[in-house]
A and B are shown apart, each in its own frame.
Chain A
Amino acid sequence: MIIETKALTKRFRSRIAVSDLDLAVPESGISAFLGPNGSGKTTTIRMLLGLARPTSGSASILNSSISDDAGLAAARRRIGYIGEDKRLYGYMAAGELLAFMRSIYPSWRDDRERRFCKKFNVPLDQKCKALSKGMRTKLAMVLALSRQLELLILDEPSEGLDPVATEQLLESIIEVAADGGSVFFSTHQLSDVERIADRMFIMHSGRLVLQSSMEDVRENYRRIHAAFPCRPPIEHMTMVGVSNVRVEDHVMSLIATQNVDTILERARALGAISVQARSIGVRELFLECVKGES
């Protein structure tokens, strides 16, 4: 696992930001980290990078424990991070910041730096404090992508970007994954997730409410509607693969995460007069997870 947490918890006085989080992000590919505002995504990322200290639990990133400062610092050589607000050193010009980063990372690739600077039109002689948020994001991408990465972590990277820049960003993320790197990104842009992610993790109120591969979602996750002549017997629908059961009048709605055929048979056996199953999109699944947990 490239990221692994065990019962990771972060408490800010009386508020629990992350609660008993067990996260296992496999190597390679693109993992989307989803959740409504305040669900604990950013806090989790900050703990993984050593910016915040966990209240309890443990975690490792690139096989380095986050409680081992020296190991985590060494691991950060192989990690690229683009934070939520993309603040850069305002007193440095973009070119100076690139030179500064080049001096830190031995795996820096000048050819990539030139290519990405050209692609993103980075104004090298402009001070970072004078750059717009979109341009700061692009420069942060150049800083992260100009070296050999094993893991790229992005916290809401497309926030504040125009559609063209968003498209360039997504292309770059795909490029990192194609080069064998892993990408872990938090976002609210569910359409982006549907387009590029290989797996997704959904957080809500500090807890992980879903982790699944996109392939699994496409292949196995189904929205099932069953209409009954009387009140649906939901007590008989408790079985493996059934989640988010809702009842509205005589119609029962649920999400099947596996065993779809068995669930359909059970609904029919219980007297359903009409049973429908259809595939479910990321947006619908996300909303269902979040509403269900609420």
Chain B
Amino acid sequence: MVGDKAVWRKCWLESRTRFFVVAVVIICVLVWQILDSQHRMGRFDRRPPLTFSEYVAFVFAGGFQTIWVGSVLFLGLGGIVREAALGTAALTLTLPFRRRDWMGVRATLGLLQAGALAFIPVGVIPICSLVVHRSYPPWEALKFSGLLFAGGYLFFFLGFFWSALLGSELSGLAAAGVSLLLVFAAQDYLYRWFPSFNFPNFNMSAFLSGGDLVNRTTGFLEAWPWAALVKCFACAVFLFWASVEIVDRRDF
């Protein structure tokens, strides 16, 4: 049963180290980027000069996005497949739960962790801003974080899917890394290199940080890319369903 506390507890115990390590890395990067904002903003040679809000939008689009996407992909790897490598899959799968129960709980917990990581800036950025005598509205950080999470949890399922399909965390990581490159870079390049094929010009990185929906003056997010979010949701559902079907058929 999916609601069984034991399943949740075990999934939490097995993922908490990764989660906390990633959370610490994200907090450190954000703190450093905000505390060093004066110096870093000066590197944007722009007239009129970059505002602090615009700088924060760049933080969301840059280092934070890269680390978060990599982290959720990393959180998606493992599970029963990892246990098979460690030799404990037989113990887990002979407990009175179905494989899809384990996968359902792991996916839900992973999403919660991905969400928690995505929303770290909501607390960190406004607080650190005060230290450098700036201010940033938590509500605006919440919108950027919400967009990153709503579009980016797909990458959690990308890691989930590849490790289920390849049966190994390492090869899953390699395959997921290649997939990331394809999603983030190749589509943009395909559009540029083969314009006659009419590839849709979709820039994943810009989409996750608001892209054209960010007000150029205020640096705040003004609308939501609903159509793209629905497509991400559909892709994530498909990847989850495929992963469950693969693991259900696998021998351990």
Binary flags per residue of B74-92, CB closer than 8 Å to A gives 1, else 0 = 0000000000001111110
Residues of chain A whose beta carbon lies under 8 Å from any beta carbon of chain B: 46, 49-53, 69-70, 73-74, 76-77, 79, 81, 83, 85, 87-92, 100, 103-105
Rounded to whole Å, the gap between the CB of B102 and the closest CB of chain A is: 11
Q: Which of B9, B86, B96, B248 contacts A74 (CB 8 A)?
A: B96
A53 near B251 with CB under 8 A, answer: yes
State the CA gap A51–B91 with chains docked (Å): 10
Name the A residues within 8 Å of B4 (CB-CB).
104
A51 near B94 with CB under 8 A, answer: yes
Name the B residues within 8 Å of A73 (CB-CB).
96-98, 101
From residue 118 to 162 of chain B, which have CB atoms closer than 8 A to chain A?
none
Question: 25 A-B Cβ contacts within 8 A?
Answer: A49-B93, A50-B93, A51-B89, A51-B90, A51-B94, A51-B251, A52-B252, A53-B249, A69-B98, A70-B98, A76-B96, A77-B96, A79-B94, A81-B90, A81-B94, A83-B91, A85-B87, A85-B90, A87-B88, A89-B91, A91-B14, A92-B13, A100-B9, A103-B9, A105-B96
- Most chain B CB within 10 A, of A79, A85, A87, is at A87
State the CA gap A259–B176 with chains docked (Å): 67
B94 near A76 with CB under 8 A, answer: yes
State the CA gap A83–B91 with chains docked (Å): 8
Rounded to whole Å, the gap between the CB of A144 and the closest CB of chain B is: 10
Name the B residues within 8 Å of A85 (CB-CB).
87, 90
B5 near A91 with CB under 8 A, answer: no
B6 interface residue (CB < 8 Å to A): yes
With A51-B252, A53-B251, A103-B5 in contact, is A88–B88 under 8 Å at CB? yes
Rounded to whole Å, the gap between the CB of B251 and the closest CB of chain A is: 4
Q: Which of B95, B98, B99, B251 contacts A52 (CB 8 A)?
A: B251
